[in-house]
Chains A and B, each alone.
Chain A
Amino acid sequence: MLVELGHFAMILALALSAAQAFFGLTGAALKRERWMSVATSAVTGQFLFLALGTATLVHAFVVNDFSVKYVANHSNSALPLFYRVAALWGAHEGSLLLWICVLGVWSIAVAWRGAKLPPDYLARVLGVLGVVSFGFLLFLLTTSNPFERLLPAAIDGADLNPQLQDFAMAIHPPILYAGYVGMSVSFAFACAAMLEGRRDHLWAHWQRPWTVMAWAFLSCGIALGSWWAYYVLGWGGWWAWDPVENASFMPWLAGTALIHSLIVTDKRGLFKSWTLLLSVAVFSLSLLGTFLVRSGVLNSVHSFAADPARGIFILSFLVLMIGGALALYAWRAPSLGSDVGFEMVSRESFILFNNILLAVATAVVFGGTLAPMIADTLGLGTLSVGPPYFNPSFLVPTLPLVALLSVGIHARWRRGQLSLSKQRLLGTLAIALVVGLGIVYGIYGSTRLMTPIGAVLGIWIILSSLVDPLLQLRKRIALPAGVLGMTVAHIGVGIFVLGITFVESSTIERDIALAQGQSHTIGGYEFRFLGVENMEGPNFDGVRGHVIVSQGSKVVADLHPDKRRYFVQGTVTTKAAIGAQWNRDLLAALGEDLGSNSWSLRLQYRPMIRFVWLGAAIMALGGVMTLFDRRYRTAPVAATANTQTTGDPVQAST
């Protein structure tokens, strides 16, 4: 009964989203204030019904109501409570519901925080969000209804995929979706500006914090997914260029370009149409990401066609949203001229390079991810594109990207001269060369070309991000949150680059057969296999191995890798054991029982892999820090007036 109530609540939410879209868009077009305020109320109402609907489904999971088909398919009474709740987004239907709920939260945040915005602009933003919400709710209710009953009810559920029974995987989807959906808020701001035909660039100032927030969520979500793949899939890679990973990486790359071009549009009124186009692109890639992962199209174009209703809906929705936005863009963009110029080596041109390189990087990933699908559809054969394509191709745009970052930090707005900061540039580069090459050849000793390049570039980014803010602090000039956030985010990039460089060049992996008591040494670490014992969990049993790792005479890690067999699905999963330290991971995973107390084991030494996720987290932290800048708290009109006359804090500080 409760679940039917939830279903009904979702239908009401659908009606309210239609009201939100209609009254928001037409109210603003006809300048009717009452209509516009209806849009705001509709957001609140929709949120309440979404919360109610979701709560009934969560309740069904918690009380093990296996008469609900979705619960019966993805949960089990032996599943711990935490994972029963997280099982809500364990499959297609529930993750769509999660998407819609997250959109409800973002929409209510916009309605609440947007009270300072001009009412007709806010109404248009909410109207566009209403359209997105309507599309998703319609999709949920017509093709992927999680409230459907199962008659007769199942005695017990089919259980959640064991690989998803993990903390990082339980919180990964909500955070990733907060990023995806946040990008649709950013998109709504851009659309509202185009619909209104604004000639100024105030919209960029309003759009910026929302985009940065969404980007920070996206960064954390991707990092969590990568971390999960690393320790749950058990085979040690942190990024496999898997289509599922790429689907979330593309909006991130384009989103990174967007948060930079928004700065230029906000501060200087330049790149207006490019920024709008990027906003549309980021949103489109987010939609594509959502659907690519959950629709089954990645497994095969044919399995996508196996459920034609879903496939056709998704395609029409994508075409309508993206096509509509592009048509709007084609109509409005020509009227958005920029009347100010900039010099070749100004900060504007460095951000332009950043945008071009990130766009190329997005295109590289896009091509590699979609090529197999396109080839399959056209009957050109079954092909796959993997790391051998992605690794070298991705470096083509990203190597100049990270190299130019250190130079670009020192460039000033408008003016074209680097001579003033030449000393700092060369000084930091010299230190980076000494330290970077010292680490590479002194500690790790690599023969690859990319290792010293990556190490030097990573350290150079960190140093050049730090040098200006540190000089300011010495002069006792307070740093605005915007500058601090930028510095932190760029240091995150440097740490990320260092992490990738060393983990990719100095990792040692060895698959080996070891009898009880035998040991094997890799990279100076001795892994001793002490045998296995049986283990039992709430919904699985299996074996737990014991591996002791020592360096010299000191024990540095005590590892318990296990292999679990989940009762319900009968699947076996390997949980690798990881001995983590800030500068290296030691990983052991059980392979197969070879008989006579002997097992095959996978042993790995991965230097600085923590830097990869740490770097991503620091980037996200930097993004969040910029949101506390005073510029966002003052009234928007005053803020722009300030920009045009005296310059803003960031500019003043460079």
Chain B
Amino acid sequence: MTPRQRRMTLVAVIVVGVSIASALALRAFRDNVMFYFDPTKVAAGEVKRGQRFRLGGMVVQGSLTRTPGTLNVSFAVTDFKNSVPVKYDQVLPDLFREGAGMVAYGRLDASGTFVADEVLAKHDEKYMPPELARSLKAGQAAAAGGAGGAPAAAGAAAAATPSTGGTQ
């Protein structure tokens, strides 16, 4: 091969290689990007069947139930307009508690229950995932429109105060 041919081969190899890599990466990206939905969007049927997505909202007070002897828990998540039942069978994170915000990864089953494979509540009381804060704010505004503002805001404030029952 002449030096010119050699150089062209090298360039061709590189171009082909890089294109294959980017095609594969783009495909993986398209297939695996996860969207965020709040309970209202879930109730509106915006989620495609079998699609894995992130669900965010507040854990409804008094909704947490456990199956004795197992790790199976179920609870409801709300954005103050709609709520979605959630099932989970692993250890819940430290900051998970009723009345606090959480984000979960998972899918909807046939009955409309969200089967979570990962639950996150890793942020401190002051911090909330931004999309959660936004959808909660929207939900509260809607609730305030119907119920006169103050109670909803008070409810949210109560929800944000730390509970200390976690350790015992």
Contact = CB atoms under 8 A, between A and B. Distances in A.
Q: Are chains A and B native binding partners rather than an unrelated pairing?
A: yes
A389 B33 contact: yes
B36 interface: yes
B35 A572 contact: no
B70 interface: yes
B49 interface: no
A382 B37 CA distance: 8
A572 B35 CA distance: 29
Given A341-B3, A344-B6, A344-B10, A511 B71 contact: yes
A565 B167 contact: yes
B21 A360 contact: yes
Nearest to A601: B91
B92 A572 contact: no
Contacts of B92: 591-592
Given A384-B36, A397-B21, A349 B166 contact: no
A381 interface: yes
A393 B34 contact: no
A367 B25 contact: yes
B33 A385 contact: yes
A260 interface: no
Contact of A388 (B18, B32, B122, B127): B32
Q: Helix, strand, loop or mixed for chain A's interface?
A: mixed
A303 B10 contact: no
B124 A392 contact: no
Nearest to B38: A382
A501 B22 CA distance: 24
A397 B1 CA distance: 28
B36 A563 contact: no
Interface in B1-24: 1, 3, 6, 9-10, 14, 17-18, 20-22, 24
A385 B33 CA distance: 5
Given A563-B167, A592-B92, A600-B91, A367 B29 contact: yes
Contacts of A400: 17
B87 to A, nearest CB: 14
A511 B91 CA distance: 6
Contact of A344 (B9, B22, B71, B124): B9
B18 A356 contact: yes
A541 B3 CA distance: 72
Contacts of A300: 130-131
Interface in A543-597: 543, 563-565, 569-574, 589, 591-594
A446 interface: no
Contacts of B125: 570-571
B12 to A, nearest CB: 12
Contact of A396 (B21, B32, B127, B131): B21
A364 interface: yes
A299 B3 CA distance: 51
Interface string A66-108: 0000000000000000000000000000000000000000000
A601 B35 CA distance: 30
B91 A382 contact: no
Interface string B70-82: 1100000000000
Contacts of A572: 94-95, 166-167
A382 B131 contact: yes
Contacts of B98: none
Interface string A374-397: 000000011111101100110011
A264 B152 CA distance: 66
Interface in A262-307: 299-300, 302-303
A109 interface: no
Contact of B18 (A360, A392, A589): A360
A130 to B, nearest CB: 37
Contacts of B164: 565, 570
Contacts of A384: 33-34, 36, 54
B24 A396 contact: yes
Contacts of B166: 563, 565, 572, 592
A512 B71 contact: yes
A345 to B, nearest CB: 10
Contacts of A299: 127, 129-130
A602 B164 CA distance: 22
Contacts of B89: 511
Contact of B71 (A343, A368, A600): A600
Nearest to A535: B167
B162 interface: yes
Contact of B124 (A352, A388, A569): A569
A352, A381, A396 interface centre (most CB from chain B within 10 Å): A396
Contacts of A393: 24-25, 28-29
A270 to B, nearest CB: 13
Given A300-B130, A392-B28, A600-B71, A383 B33 contact: yes
Contacts of A385: 29, 32-34
Contact of B36 (A382, A397, A574): A382
Interface in A337-358: 341, 343-344, 349, 352, 356
A573 B134 CA distance: 27
A344 B1 CA distance: 10
B123 to A, nearest CB: 9
B148 interface: no
Nearest to A389: B32
Contacts of B33: 371, 383-385, 389
A513 interface: yes
A594 B73 CA distance: 11
A647 interface: no
A469 interface: no
Nearest to B68: A594
Contacts of A564: 167
B71 A571 contact: no
B168 interface: yes
A161 B124 CA distance: 9
Given A344-B9, A573-B94, A589-B91, 6 more contacts: A299-B127, A360-B22, A384-B34, A389-B28, A591-B91, A592-B166
26 contacts: A299-B127, A299-B130, A300-B131, A302-B130, A344-B1, A352-B10, A356-B17, A360-B18, A364-B21, A371-B33, A385-B34, A386-B34, A388-B28, A389-B28, A389-B33, A393-B29, A511-B89, A511-B91, A512-B71, A563-B94, A570-B164, A571-B125, A572-B94, A592-B92, A600-B71, A601-B91
